[in-house]
Amino acid sequence: MDSAEYERRIAARFATFDQDGNGYISREDFSTAAAALCTEFGATARSEKGQALYIGAEAFWQGMAGIADRDGDQRITRDEFVGGAVKRLRDNPDRFAEIARPFLHAAIDVADGDADTAVTPVEAKRALKALGVPEEIAEGVAAALDVDRDGRVTEQEIVQAFAQYFTVPE
Question: Applying CB under 5 A, which residues contact Ca ion?
Answer: 18, 20, 22, 29, 69, 71, 73, 75
Closer CB to Ca ion, residue 20 or residue 139?
20
CB 130 within 8 Å of CB 37: yes
**Minimum CB separation from Ca ion for residue 138, in Å?**
20
Q: What is the CA radius of gyration of the chain?
A: 15
CB of 18 to Ca ion, least distance (A): 4
Give 53 or 64: the residue with its C-beta nearer to Ca ion. Answer: 64
Query: Cβ closer to Ca ion: 54 or 157?
Result: 54
Nearest to 111, CA basis, from 96, 129, 93, 97:
129
Cα separation of 60 and 137, whole Å?
23
- Is residue 67 within 8 A of residue 85, CB to CB? The reply is yes
State in angstroms the smallest separation of the CB of 151 from Ca ion: 34
